[in-house]
Chains A and B, each alone.
Chain A
């Protein structure tokens, strides 16, 4: 299936949060207060029974700990590493209320799930063949979580992805100091280990010029459809110089060094445009890849940035600097980028009239990704809003038998949200394809 390049630039990164060994895990697990109505569990989008899995680590019952985690979240290994636990479970830990270090839930979850993958502990079997078939578009976390759940119900499952890489952002988009591509792929293998998930890579579904499978054909082949195709390409800016060598979309650039090798030995001054989590990932990644000077240019303020404060704090510790209330007017240079001409903004985010130029030989645009709702917008019954596919709380679209989840519906949230949405949709799909008057055909 997915074959990774041997020489990948991401391999230089060390884990930002190193793994626990057994002793550390047991000591940390024993600190857990084992709350009831636990705030950590309430904060988890996939509602993992956190006190229970931690208790099982504490008693050296790790296999059942992993089972507790994976029963709620089959992508528990990657979520353990990439979840912004500081604003989810760990942020909700009651120890915060008494100014004590909160339980390191992510690291404990990693300990149990790493062992599950390493030892090959398997907890789930495919259900008896139901005779129903579901097509899932996109091979990222939402689809994988849905596919695994659907296989437990015995439905035939086919996952399509236009790329030749399985795993979605987990494989080609997540910061490597959190999760490396080979680990993401190991988890995909673990999920697919339930058997019967047919993954079709290099197949673009849709009615576009380069599509391999039309929406109509997809609908005809399956009893239900799940859309988990994520987001589109990096958004651009309406300023001159975007075509200069050295100007890239951030997500595109991250994919390059995660799945392959990039040479940045020439880069002296890198600038990332944006203030969201992709921007914060990008500055830390550029630092890690050896660029001496890395800075952020953001039109908002430090307090108002949408990137997580704990991540940005880490970036600052690593030496990243920022220009707040700034926005590029032009990327300058001849063939290669040499500098960026920027405008200073006031508190109303309007130009103050002041401008300045900063040296930059590498610029990454991290100002968002295109929404792909338009590729599906023509289908009867499917509603889109701001480019997102509109679904109800079960993941159902307005078109019977069509469901959706993950970034294409929520506009770009965490892996754990995609898993939760995929799982919820799987339950709705199961109900749909097994409804009493089901006749086949979505």
Chain B
């Protein structure tokens, strides 16, 4: 039976793209020729690098975070918005739309006054944008001038500016979708998402970069990237920020008051990351860092990987996937405290490194031990011993084990019915005996 090819078309607040993969507003979307090459490579949409009063940038601008010999697991930058003349940007926007009418072209904007917002929106709409993205996220440089994350961190300001933008978008192009790009540099993302919604935004994009210092030059006592002997905080991004981004996307997606679409951003490097963001409530995903490191060509793998996933899970459309995991994103207080797993080791697969023993004893709950020598004083096989009566099922041994499927966490029946902390507070249910707490 021939499998029906899934439909990758994505709809984010009325912005339609042939697939959910957009380039985020950043250096890869700095110019028309770049974006046209990206569309040719397969990207479904692109958010144009933020337009505003063109800036003067510093040199150098980027820094990479390396870990255990792996380069650039995280990344940061101190580059600002566009430094190119607005006229050039608008001319190229027209060219891109003429060449690629069916791709999504969203223009990121950042200005200060209402007058400036009206002016730039009018010119952007005239150039032919499919949507606007209001940059309230940039945590470096622009925020010192009262823009970027300085707006995104104040729900009231966010709402007021969004209101302006939406008003002028309606005036110059009725129905034009407006997204608000949120900053993660806040204690709670929800009020900021709700502020955008209250300002009549059609959707939100998140996360922008995280305020960061990527590292120091320890010989010269200066953070990097270094600009003439000094540095400044930058915006952190790349694979390492995905967990923060996924949480913020999920926090909005599950909030009953929040009901506008999300374009997910933050550490998306491959199809699997994209699937995670979509299942967590994103209608599209935006990518920057991985493209900066590997180029536009990565989208080919993202497309076929996503298709393969959709086929294997019987999804026909992206919409069927959006938010599929959100109901399972629960409060801690609603987790079943009587659910119990313990670690089991497959002795045939174990290679005897004892990394799990070290982790359990130094970093967890001390229930694993090295194999005892036999009567002959020789250890027959280096397989750790687990004291199951003390195993709390924390997963650390499984996480550090270098052998696939060697340690598994197996559910045990302790005879207790499910019971949560919130039920316990309400005087309901009975909690099981606590392990590893003596």
A interface vs B, CB < 8 Å? Answer: 23, 26-27, 29-30, 33-37, 39, 58, 94-95, 97-98
Convert B185-205 into 0s and 1s, putting 1 for each residue whose CB lies closer than 8 angstroms to a CB of A. 000000000000000000000
List A contacts of B353 (CB < 8 A).
33, 35, 94
Q: Which 9 A-B pairs have the closest CB atoms?
A: A97-B351, A30-B69, A30-B68, A94-B351, A27-B69, A26-B69, A33-B353, A35-B353, A94-B353
In chain A, what residue has the closest Cβ to B381? A97
List B contacts of A58 (CB < 8 A).
68-69
List A contacts of B68 (CB < 8 A).
30, 58
Bound Cα distance A34, B400 (Å): 11
Convert B346-380 into 0s and 1s, putting 1 for each residue whose CB lies closer than 8 angstroms to a CB of A. 00011111110110000000000010000000000
In chain A, what residue has the closest Cβ to B350? A97
Most buried by A among B69, B352, B358, B382: B69
CB distance from B365 to the nearest CB of A (A): 18
CB distance from A11 to the nearest CB of B (A): 34
List B contacts of A94 (CB < 8 A).
351-353, 382
CB distance from A104 to the nearest CB of B (A): 14
List B contacts of A35 (CB < 8 A).
352-355
Convert B43-70 into 0s and 1s, putting 1 for each residue whose CB lies closer than 8 angstroms to a CB of A. 0000000000000000000000000111
Bound Cα distance A34, B355 (Å): 7
Q: Is A36's CB under 8 angstroms from B358's CB?
A: yes
Convert B66-96 into 0s and 1s, putting 1 for each residue whose CB lies closer than 8 angstroms to a CB of A. 0011100000000000000000000000000
List B contacts of A29 (CB < 8 A).
69
Give 20 pairs: A residue, B residue, CB < 8 Å, sorted on A: A23-B69, A26-B69, A29-B69, A30-B69, A30-B70, A33-B353, A35-B352, A35-B354, A35-B355, A36-B357, A37-B354, A37-B370, A39-B382, A94-B352, A94-B353, A95-B351, A97-B351, A98-B351, A98-B402, A98-B403
CB distance from A300 to the nearest CB of B (A): 31
List B contacts of A95 (CB < 8 A).
351
Instruction: Give the secondary structure class of B's interface.
Output: loop
Instruction: Using A36-B354, A37-B354, A58-B68 as known contacts, list a sample of 13 further A-B pairs with CB atoms less than 8 Å apart, ordered by residue number in A.
Output: A27-B69, A34-B355, A35-B352, A35-B354, A36-B358, A37-B382, A39-B352, A58-B69, A94-B351, A94-B382, A95-B351, A97-B350, A98-B351
List A contacts of B370 (CB < 8 A).
36-37
Considering only residues 95-113 of chain B, those with a C-beta below 8 Å from chain A are none
Q: Is A97's CB under 8 angstroms from B352's CB?
A: yes
List A contacts of B350 (CB < 8 A).
97
In chain B, what residue has the closest Cβ to A57? B69
List B contacts of A98 (CB < 8 A).
349, 351, 402-403
Bound Cα distance A98, B352 (Å): 10
List A contacts of B355 (CB < 8 A).
33-35
Bound Cα distance A58, B67 (Å): 10
In chain B, what residue has the closest Cβ to A24? B69
Bound Cα distance A80, B380 (Å): 30
Q: Is B402's CB under 8 angstroms from A33's CB?
A: yes
CB distance from B180 to the nearest CB of A (A): 41
Bound Cα distance A58, B350 (Å): 24
List A contacts of B382 (CB < 8 A).
37, 39, 94
List B contacts of A26 (CB < 8 A).
69
Bound Cα distance A37, B353 (Å): 8
CB distance from B354 to the nearest CB of A (A): 5
Bound Cα distance A39, B69 (Å): 24
Most buried by B among A29, A30, A58, A98: A98
CB distance from B364 to the nearest CB of A (A): 15
Bound Cα distance A37, B70 (Å): 27
